Amino acid sequence: MSVKLHAPLALLPQGWTRDVLFEIDAAGILISVTPAVTPAVTPAVPPGDAERAAGPVIAGMPNLHSHAFQRAIAGRTGRAGAAGDSFWTWRQAMYAFLERVDADAFEAIAEEAYVEMLKAGYTSVAEFHYVHHDPQGRPYADPAELAHRVAGAAHRAGIALTLLPVFYAHAGFGGQPPAASQRRFVHTVDSFARLVLSLAGTSDARGHVLGVAPHSLRAVTPGELAAIVALLPQGPIHIHAAEQTREVADCVAWSRQRPVEWLLAHAGLDARWCVVHATHMMAHESAELAASGAVAGLAPTTEADLGDGTFGARTYKDAGGAFGIGSDSNTIIDPFAELRQLEWSQRLASLTRNVLAGDDEPVGQASFTATAIGGARALGIAAGRLAPGCRADLIVLDPDAPALAGQPPEALLDAAIFGPCRQPVRDVMVGGRWLVRDGHHHREAETLGRYRAALARCTG
């Protein structure tokens, strides 16, 4: 049985359109998207038995890169050491916190992060899941224990999940032995293959997409990379690359190539791949990565928080590159804030404005549309557009939000991203189910209670 939703205004692939009727099948897929033949000047009465959306409708945003457990250290890493602070010192603080997180806390933290994502307008998430073992580095009785906890948290929150178990074996380029602080992450190729096989047997039943994630060239040797990629003939492949200048220098010392350059030459990048961060690329790397069909996975607020650097978005966009956004460390969970940071970082670097604007689209609409489509590709799902055959993942913007008041359709997303509006989202639907209504998730109170209890155990 299908259901119908009438939108007084919706952002379709062809642009903003008035009086749109969406029909959604029992599996949560858009069967039809039908604009009125003669749009009314004023909002029309919903046809037949269709529910009426409470505001403008846009596609939900895929979150292409999340480490859900890091939500718990947001705000706890603001002190610089005597020698200063960097990504590398932050990483040590993250490792130290992780030593106190058991499986129950891991799950509670993930569910809180996913509920917050939904309230902010993320309707799907790629979880880059690299914590596999207990705090002492021992495999659980079920080696997929923490992966199942992630899947359970996503299921209860209602967010669509692309699960990316991470292969991590080394502490540096050239196969350096892992550090003691990395013991919760480490697998051999054989043990990781067993993990992936186990998860492949449950992913369809749980309704999520399964991919693989070789962590980075510093954590995976070339032979291991080839073996991990071969484990799944289909599905997404995500890898960190070129996030930090030290990483780039170390990669050059090891291989005489930069990280993205090495991947382009040796890994066979194509549309299945998401190269996360890709912050430090030369012009030829940007052009070749764009041509490969891979998605650049950007996390602008995390990259700013960690002092990573600024992605060369103008060069990459001009080359036709696909890109999406993710919440990464979950210090900030807000796709509109990610897009604001992305555009503002480009303005600061180029001393110009509206860097990501399209030929016929204002910057907010152009960047939202591009990242929704690129993010869906990175997650391996049909989403990111309000079109037949896509998932019914959508956001209803809040017409009562002050920043959106009185805005014409073409300015709505610019106002939501750059205006003084902290919460432009009113309602959120995932796979045809309403999960957020009037800004509230139906499990938010219970989830927050479990999260608070988990933090107390981890930090007390």
User: Which amino acids are annotated catalytic?
Assistant: 277, 328
In sequence order, what are the residues at sequence separation of 6 or more whose Cβ sits closer than 8 angstroms to the Cβ of residue 392? 22, 24, 28, 29, 30, 429, 430, 431, 432
Q: Tell how strand 30-35 and strand 15-24 pair up.
A: antiparallel
- Sheet of 273-277, strands arranged across: 237-241, 273-277, 295-298, 322-325
Query: Among candidates 247, 276, 252, which has minimal Cα distance to 262?
Result: 252
Label residue 45 exposed, middle or buried (CB < 10 Å: 0-12, 13-18, 19+): exposed
Question: What distance in Å separates the CA atoms of residue 14 and residue 30, rounded to the nearest whole number?
Answer: 16
Distance CA 118, CA 165 (A): 22
In the block, residue with structure tokens 């540096």: 172
